[in-house]
Structure 1
Amino acid sequence: MRSEVPEVLAGTALRRGDLLRRGVTDSRLRSRAVRRPFRGVHADAGVEPGVLRRIGDVVPLLPPGGVVGGWAAAWLHGARWFDGRCGGQELPVLVCLPAAGRMRPRPGVRVLRSELRDDDVTEVAGVPVTSAVRTGLDLARLSDVPRRGVVAVDALWAAGATTGPAVLAHLEERPRLRGAPVARAAAGLAVPGVRSPKETELRMLWVFDAGLPIPLVNHRLVDLAGRHLGTPDLLDEEAGLVGEFDGGDHLALEVSTVDHVRQEGLERHGLVVARFTSVDVRPAHVRRTVWRLRDARTRGLARVGPRSWRVVP
């Protein structure tokens, strides 16, 4: 089947008119080797489904001045936490247009019209996209609450694409953008070094729902002799409270054993360790998680005696 695909179609999507001008015949475009993701757009049917194919299908639709944005731009900038899915459903690919831009709505595509300056636009892998900092700003300001925006900025920061302070500075030059207050709050709460989106969700639950002080994220703990004790996901230094998020990989026997040994070492030094999974950050279990966090902090604050640990910046 692959050999039947015109070379010009390999791995990409193009408009029918462009293909006809390049010598591809109608009969070849009607063959089973060619997909038609949108009216007038043809692509190689041999390309495996995935994020890159979804993004590539939209590129031929871009009008002059239009670029790919949102989760798709974040993925191209290296933030692979964004796979275009949420709750088992596919998210539309965001197309960002200048204020005067025009594009016909289509299933699977969301259009956002907004001011796009030269430094808001770049190119990644041949795809015109919003810059990393503008991508973070848009994802944050289009979130209905700051905590979801924090996940976006954390992800881009973890990928080395942009930072929270950079998003804030970019926003200050565009204070009239819709959603600016939400974006400002989200970027202000973002931190470097986050290892997973669920870790960010736990941190936001810690701050917003439990009302606990903003924790340190992935800071090293050592004993007074400088020996490494662990690098907890979250740390309330005042209370000596450690919060750990256990992803699916922590269920493996070897990883779980290492977790238990590390926890015992932290507890020997007077730290209170609270462990959580993806179940604990679901809305149905937030009340229980809040109670556990507050109880753990109370126990931590009640500890007496000199500390035998310290934080390494």
Structure 2
Amino acid sequence: MSRFAEEWAQTRVSRSRADWARREIGRGTLRGQRYDRATPGYYRATSGQRDGEGAVVNSAQRIRDAQSVMPSGALIAGWAAAYAHGIDALDGLDHLTMKPLPVPVLLPPGSRRRSTPEIRYRQSIRQIRGDVIEGIPVTMLLRTAYDLAREAPDLTEAVAALDAILRTRRLKPEHLQRNLGRIAGHRGSSQARQAVDLARIGVRSTWESRLRMLAVLELGLLDLQPNRAVFDHQGYLLGIPDLLDVDAGLALEYDGGTWRSDRAEGHRDRDQHREDNAREERLERAGLIVVRAEKRDLTTYRRQLIGRIATARADGLRRDRTRDRWTLDEPSDWYGYDYYC
């Protein structure tokens, strides 16, 4: 079950002040602790799902709040449509600040709305066909993917969004390539085309995507393989590095909070830390070089990380390959990547 589906069961319906008045709920009551303002002029029963600064943390609730004020023919779009489609990683939280992003809403032709802190409106030049998920009209997944790639702040974030969508296997790279003509001439189409070329199946988190894009854009490492299983010569699994440079024998690992959560921050749990250390030791004994990175390496210490990867790769290219004790050849009883993820 997707996170959206789990959160949806906890959402509350937003109603206008007039609607609440017809139910004999006055303004004074709406301003009390039992109700929350969802959007300007709309309130709902409080759910208690807010962060320390009062922002709603249930992304499905924010989507439902936006739906309550959408005009007929409008569609939930962008990250919110992706989240409704089951793309858990695209949950509408800024990847650096973890603050909620506005819910994107695509207006039908002729309809105009002023954006608010909660909702970002944009107008379509023609009527767009959409899907309906839990009663919410959303852009279709292919359109959602292109919108995210076109409107991302940079190429890295565009690729991270497409990687997250491809991970679900709901779309395939050939679907994205085959339909690129649909976005010809649209704003951001050039970035979207680049992102489609660079997107990969098998990436497990958006931070892995950002690590890969750093290596691609800064070091030109276009052939990194995401989550490729590595074995010893007896067929035993050594590990599944986040990114593998086969030629250099270089494994890049992103240290998130835990492999079970794309959103976890801070210290990794002890079990995960022990597993990571054991896997790194196995890979290095077999002749691979491992470079680990975490969130601050990709932000505050970005230049240092680029240098570390470049140095490690140079060492790997100079290694004595006759001493390698690893292979990508899969044993006959290998269940595959999905079984172990």
Deviation at 1:27, TM superposition (A): 3.5
**3-state SS of 1:36 partner:** strand
CA distance in 1 between partners of 2:12 and 2:68 (Å): 13
- The range that moved more, 290-299 or 170-179, is 170-179
1:43 equivalent in structure 2: 44
The amino acid across from 1:114 in the alignment is S
Is residue 154 from structure 1 mapped to residue 159 from structure 2 by the alignment? no
- The range that moved more, 94-103 or 129-138, is 94-103
TM-score (norm 1): 0.86
Deviation at 1:232, TM superposition (A): 0.6
CA distance in 2 between partners of 1:210 and 1:285 (Å): 16
In the comparison of the two structures, how many residue pairs are matched?
300
- The range that moved more, 172-181 or 239-248, is 172-181
CA distance in 1 between partners of 2:166 and 2:239 (Å): 23
Deviation at 1:179, TM superposition (A): 0.7
**3-state SS of 2:234 partner:** coil
Regions of 4+ moved over 4 Å = 16-20, 28-31, 115-119
- The range that moved more, 105-114 or 132-141, is 105-114
Instruction: Pick the aligned partner of 1:71 from 79, 97, 100.
Output: 79
For residues 13-69 of structure 1, give each alpha carbon's deviation from its aligned partner in whole angstroms, at most 9, with x where no partner exists. 23456667xx52354895444433233423222463421221111112211211111
CA distance in 1 between partners of 2:170 and 2:48 (Å): 27
Deviation at 1:266, TM superposition (A): 1.4
The amino acid across from 1:89 in the alignment is K
- The structure richer in helix per residue is 1
CA distance in 2 between partners of 1:254 and 1:30 (Å): 48
Deviation at 1:164, TM superposition (A): 3.6
Superposition map of 1:22-61 within 5 A: 24-25=23-24, 27=26, 30-31=29-30, 32=32, 33-46=34-47, 48=49, 49=56, 50-61=58-69
Q: CA RMSD in A?
A: 2.4
1:139 equivalent in structure 2: 148
Unaligned runs of 5+ residues in structure 1 are 1-9
- The range that moved more, 230-239 or 72-81, is 72-81
CA distance in 1 between partners of 2:241 and 2:308 (Å): 17
- The structure richer in strand per residue is 1
- The range that moved more, 29-38 or 126-135, is 29-38
Shift in CA distance, 312/30, structure 1 to aligned 2, threshold 3 Å = farther
- The range that moved more, 105-114 or 248-257, is 248-257
Is residue 98 from structure 1 mapped to residue 97 from structure 2 by the alignment? no
Q: Identity over aligned residues, as a percent?
A: 34
TM-score (norm 2): 0.80
Instruction: Pick the aligned partner of 2:117 from 94, 100, 107.
Output: 107
2:309 equivalent in structure 1: 293
Deviation at 1:137, TM superposition (A): 0.9
